[in-house]
Amino acid sequence: MRGRLALLVAAVSVLVLTAFLVPLALLVRTVAADRATVRATADAQSLAPVVGTADPDTVRLTVEQLTAASGRQVSVYLPDGTVLGTPAPRTPAVALAARGQSLTAESAGGREVVIAVQGRPDGTGVIRTVVPRSELTAGVARAWLVLALLGVLLVLVGLVVADRLAATLVRPIAALSAVSHRLAKAELDARVEPAGPAELREVAGALNHLAGRIQVLLREEREQVADLSHRLRTPLTVLRLEAESLRDPDDAARLTTAVDGLERAVTGVIRQARWRTGPPGGGADCDAAAVVGERVAFWSVLAEDTGRTVTLDLAPGPLPVGVDGDDLAAAVDALLGNVFAHTPDGTPFTVRLVPDPAGVVLTVADAGPGLPAGAARRGVSRAGSTGLGLDIADRAARAAGGRLELGSGPDGGALVLLRLGPPRS
């Protein structure tokens, strides 16, 4: 912006100065020529009394003195054809002046000044002098140089002033940009000091108000999540006691594991609600092989109860990924939960975890009816669920620097690929 404002001011300054200095330069040249002409005319007119009354010898002596003093050619034409002073042929201007008309005319050597002198007994005499080109333009080049330097100085001053004015605009805008980037990084305590023109101060005040409002909304959200988690603690405790009271140890262990997973999910929700400085999972990592193996083992019990065949292809660990273990477990649970929710009992499915040049790839494929249109949109479900499963998996993949890919398997069923990047250094 500073460069463009400086360019604009420079262009306007050059146009204004050109419109002002060019006529002034022409005027200087005209004034110099007129001044030289006036001096020459005054010198020639000083000879008129002598030419009109004195004898030829006196006129000759006076003309020679004037020529030596002025440095210009001075000629006097008497009515009898005698030429005194600088020898020069009669020009049309001299012939016209001999009829009694004084005038000024341009000639090859400069400007010709002729004065008719009447009063001589033998007729009209003519005084002629020539102002050379060098005298007509004396001092003009120096005046033009001064004007050019003045114009350049004014342009430079204009650029300096424009740069200072532009700085008063650019600095507040840069401060606004810096604070907006800090807010985007969840530094919600960032504020901008209002400065600059009234419009920028108004924008700064609006940005500060927005940051304060975001803080209020997040604080209210954290309080609501904390209240919800507190309310969930009691039924979770009841479920744990009920699970421990079961007579069948296998059933008790399975339900206790489910309650533990639910409790971890609630804890993760609380932690994410309190998060401020980075994206979920940022700075945390886990062993994908261990997490996926544990969650598949958990879901294998339900798969056995519903007559599903589970094929697990798990690469040997450790396979570190840049996402928290609880977040990855929630993503795996969401993908496997979709298999059970959207395919009929007895539908087989495959879970495959292999290393990849960009990290690891988790594949969940089933032999069901496939994914419906719009399944990836958050909150959209055609099976009565919340529609958040794939969104949870997608957020976990993005937290690890990867992505979620949806497709169809060779047998027409759903194929979900969860690409996870390595831990961040």
Range with lowest mean pLDDT among 189-198, 311-320, 324-333, 370-379: 370-379
CB neighbours of residue 266 within 10 Å: 17
Tell me how far apart the alpha carbons of residues 30 and 112 are, in angstroms, rounded to a whole number: 16
Q: Please give the C-alpha separations between residue 85 and each of 38, 73, 93, 145, 406, in angstroms, as whole numbers.
A: 21, 8, 17, 38, 112
Residue 326 has pLDDT above 70, yes or no: yes
Q: What average pLDDT does this structure show over 313-321?
A: 88
Whole-number Å distance between alpha carbons of 362 and 366 = 14
Instruction: Give the DSSP letter string of 17-80.
Output: HHHHHHHHHHHHHHHHHHHHHHHHHHHHHHTHHHHHHS-HHHHHHHHHHHHHHH-SEEEEE-TT
Q: Select, from the ranges 179-188, 315-324, 347-356, 394-403, the one with the highest average predicted confidence (pLDDT).
A: 347-356
CA dihedral 397, 399, 401, 403 (to 10 degrees): 30
pLDDT at 281 over 70: no
Q: Residue 149 above 90 pLDDT?
A: yes
344, two tokens: 């009929």
> Which CATH architecture describes the domain 205-273?
Orthogonal Bundle (1.10)
Q: Where in the chain are all domains bearing CATH 3.30.565.10?
A: 280-420
Three-state secondary-structure class, residue 366: strand
pLDDT band at 388 (very low <50, low <70, confident <90, very high): low
Rg (CA), the chain: 51
Say if residue 222's pLDDT is above 90. no
The confidence band for 168, taking pLDDT boundaries of 50, 70 and 90, is: confident
Q: d(Cα 26, Cα 202) in Å, to the nearest integer?
A: 50
Q: Please say if the pLDDT value at position 278 is more than 60.
A: no
The answer, yes or no, to whether residue 398 has pLDDT greater than 90, is no
For residue 278, give the nearest of 413, 186, 354, 148 by alpha carbon: 186
Q: What is the pLDDT of residue 362?
A: 93
For residue 282, what pLDDT band results from cuts at 50, 70 and 90?
very low
Above 70 in pLDDT, residue 29?
yes
Mean pLDDT (whole number) for 32-55: 90
Q: Decide yes or no: CATH 3.30.565.10 for domain 280-420.
A: yes
Q: Is the pLDDT of residue 113 over 90?
A: yes
CATH 1.10.287 positions along the chain are: 205-273
Q: Which amino acid would we find at residue 41?
A: T
Q: What is the pLDDT of residue 275?
A: 53
Per-residue pLDDT, 224: 73
Residue 385 pLDDT: 42
Q: Note the Cα 144 to chain centre separation in Å.
A: 41
What pLDDT, on a 0 to 100 scale, did the predictor assign at position 182?
87
Higher pLDDT among residues 412 and 94, named by residue? 94
Q: What is the pLDDT of residue 279?
A: 44
d(CA 333, CA 295) in angstroms, rounded, equals: 7
Q: Where would I find the H helices in 245-358?
A: 249-274, 288-305, 325-342
Band of pLDDT at residue 376, cut at 50, 70 and 90 = low
Q: How far apart are the first and last CA of the chain?
A: 37
The residue ranking higher by pLDDT, 97 or 249, is: 97
Mean pLDDT of 142-163: 90
Give the pLDDT score at 280: 43
State the pLDDT at residue 13. Answer: 86
Per-residue pLDDT reduced to its tens digit, 63-106: 999 988 888 889 999 988 889 998 888 899 989 988 888 999 98
The CA distances from residue 345 to 30, 132, 364, 368, 381, in Å, are: 107, 116, 17, 10, 19
d(CA 124, CA 79): 6
Residue 229: pLDDT above 60?
Answer: yes
Q: Output the six-digit token pair for 290.
A: 């261990």
Tell me what percent of the residues of the chain surpass a pLDDT of 90. Answer: 22
Q: How many residues does the chain have?
A: 425
Mean pLDDT over all residues of the chain?
83
Say yes or no to pLDDT of 38 above 90: yes
Q: What single letter denotes the amino acid at residue 82? A: T
Tell whether the model's pLDDT for residue 331 goes beyond 90: no
Predicted confidence (pLDDT) at residue 186 exceeds the cutoff of 80: no
Between residues 304 and 383, which one has the greater pLDDT?
304
Tokens standing for residue 58: 């006196």
pTM above 0.75, yes or no: no
Whether pLDDT at 39 is above 80: yes
